[in-house]
Amino acid sequence: MIRIDGTSSASERAQITEKDAALAVVSDVAQAIDPVIAKRVLRKIDLYFMPAMLIGYGMVYYDKAILGSASLFGMTTDLKLSVVDNSTTPPSVDTSRLSWATSIFYFGMLAGLYPMTLVLQRFNTRYVLGPVVLIWAIVCAATAGVTTWQGLFIQRFFLGVIESVIPTAFMTTVSSYYTQKEQSMRQAWWFSGTGWFTIIGGALNYGFGQITSGSLARWQYIYILAGGLTFLFGLWCCTMPNSPVSAWFLTAEERIVAVERLRKGQTGVRCQKIKLDHVKESFTDVKLYLIAIMMAAAYTINGAISGFGPLIVSTFGYDTLDSILFQFPVGAVCVIFIPLCGYIPTVIPNTRIPMLITCCLPVIAGCIMIWKSEWGYQPATPVVGYALTGFFGPVVSLIITLGASNVAGATKKSIMASSTFVAYTIGNIIGPQLVKSTTKAQHYPELWQGMIICYCITIAAAISLYIVLWRENRHRDTLELDEIQRDKIAFDDLTDKQNPFFRYAL
């Protein structure tokens, strides 16, 4: 049983801003953990975080993806997002404004990622995340009041700035509460919100599609609902503890266990001091760039599918509402395979990168099926191919896990998280620009060719990352280390490069 004294030495208290917050409740000497209490602690952490984070990230995905459905419900006409050129025969339609409406959100996210993530690290979580999410809810609902395409561009830019902190907050929170082994499954759980809300959001949008009367357009109701749901999530964020050290839903004894069980992984809990040496190391670490390349390449498909998916499917010969329903298979692939790919590494170590590469292959196959098949009227092959593109979900989930579990040091975690999602924004900016309305008759060849190239790049970067991590682990295994020092430095807020006891997850 762990002894609870609730104190730490004077020197530890003096260094608390330099070192990990864990030193407020534990010392530099490891304490035995009661496995019964440890199991209870993990269950409490899961129950508090996972359902809310799944819903929260589902809303992050939903309020971007609904642009594709809203465009089918009159938004393109109401806000002049598509322009018809009657000077050609037949008349041509330019959807570049819709492409930019999708992309400009990610320019906002790009602008907000680094500053918002560092602000989140520097200040208490609930005082940053709670108000930000509540503002996000208001801005999202305000989309219903936009009357011009210029206004939509402005609204979506600021929406991107506000939302930028959400995925990085989730990524760093999981790395602060869970062991390396546990992180794969938990990162997958919250990221699977993309799949759940592809299905749930599609069902809701289908329901709104039945509205034939009312003072608002159908697309306006969708945004008001999204804003209301996001506001409820924001109330939960206002209760979020800063770290396991201050987790109010755990008892004093459970908080010590929550911290102590993280000692072996050497990833730390939380340090609110922003350290410039961590920043410098982050940007000279090849891992950051390989993770970023994979994320940018893999998530390019989302920028196209979330904004244009229903429009693409509608060209297969299906009506507006049926086009929305075809988002269900994409969501189902995410719901099933994101958690599965998160679970497998918990029972078979070092399988993250092999699974990532494997999941790239169905995406490539799906793009080829859509591109090269005969579309005709309500064809089967491109619909199956479209469903296979849903494997981008497990690919991206594994990239997030690799980024979060292979860095240590609070500031370096923040830089890795924000850099990962900077790459995410780049992919999402590029994706919509590959959808050229002038090549609709040719099945949008630039889009599918681009996706195939991107996923080949993802595979190449994943193989490179595997080699880098494997060689580093092998080198560290040859070092003669004093194992007594392992426990003493676990909460010194060292980076993975500074800490020779750290091992990388493959």
pLDDT at position 378 is 67
Please report whether residue 66 resides in a domain: yes
Residue with tokens 């594994």: 398
Q: Please give the chain's pLDDT, 506 residues, in tens.
A: 343 333 444 444 444 556 767 777 777 777 888 889 999 999 999 999 999 999 999 888 887 777 766 766 778 888 888 777 666 666 667 777 877 887 888 899 999 999 998 898 888 888 999 999 999 999 999 998 998 989 989 998 999 999 888 988 998 899 889 988 898 899 999 999 888 888 887 777 777 767 777 788 888 888 898 899 999 999 999 999 988 888 999 999 999 898 888 887 777 777 888 899 999 999 999 999 999 999 999 988 876 776 566 667 766 776 666 666 777 888 889 899 999 999 999 899 899 999 999 999 999 999 998 888 776 666 778 888 888 988 999 999 999 999 988 998 889 999 999 999 999 889 888 887 777 767 776 777 888 888 999 999 999 999 999 999 999 999 999 988 877 787 788 788 889 999 898 999 99
pLDDT at position 462 is 97
Number of domains in the chain: 1
pTM of the predicted structure, to 2 decimals: 0.84
Please report whether residue 18 resides in a domain: no
Please report whether residue 499 resides in a domain: no
Q: Is 263 exposed, middle or buried (CB count within 10 Å of its CB: 0-12, 13-18, 19+)?
A: buried
Contact between residue 327 and residue 310 where contact means Cβ atoms under 8 Å apart: yes
Q: Report the candidate in 77, 168, 90, 103 with the shortest Cα–Cα distance to residue 129.
A: 168
Please report whether residue 6 resides in a domain: no
Contacts of 280 (CB under 8 A, 6+ apart): none
Residue numbers of the domain that contains 357: 34-263+273-489
Torsion of CA 493, 470, 298, 161, to 10 degrees: 10
Distance from chain centroid for Cα 23: 30
pLDDT at position 320 is 61
In DSSP terms, which residues pair with 92 in a beta bridge?
85
pLDDT at position 76 is 81
The rounded distance, in Å, linking the Cα atoms of 20 and 242 is 12
CATH number of the domain to which 317 belongs? 1.20.1250.20
Neighbours of 452 (CB within 10 A): 17
DSSP letter string, 113-140: HHHHHHHHHHS-HHHHHHHHHHHHHHHH
pLDDT at position 236 is 95
The rounded distance, in Å, linking the Cα atoms of 373 and 255 is 57
Residue type at 204 in one-letter notation: L
Write the CA distances from 205 to 62, 72, 198, 220, integer angstroms: 10, 10, 10, 11
Gyration radius (Cα) of the chain, Å = 23
In DSSP terms, which residues pair with 84 in a beta bridge?
93
Q: Report the candidate in 348, 337, 372, 355 with the shortest Cα–Cα distance to residue 452.
A: 372
Please report whether residue 290 resides in a domain: yes
Helices 352-372 and 327-347 meet at what angle, rounded to 10? 160
Helix (H, G, I), strand (E, B) or coil at 85: strand
Please report whether residue 446 resides in a domain: yes
Please report whether residue 415 resides in a domain: yes
Contacts of 488 (CB under 8 A, 6+ apart): 28, 29
- At 303, list the tokens: 């920028």
pLDDT at position 72 is 67
Please report whether residue 500 resides in a domain: no
For every residue of 151-195, which 3-state class applies, written as one string?
Answer: HHHHHHHHHHHHHCHHHHHHHHHHHHHCCHHHHHHHHHHHHCHHH
Cis peptide preceding 90, ω within 30 of 0: yes
The b/e string for 361-386 (b: 16+ C-beta within 10 A; e otherwise) is ebbbbbbbbbbebeeeeeeeebbebb
N- to C-terminal Cα separation, the chain: 34
Residue with tokens 């598509």: 82
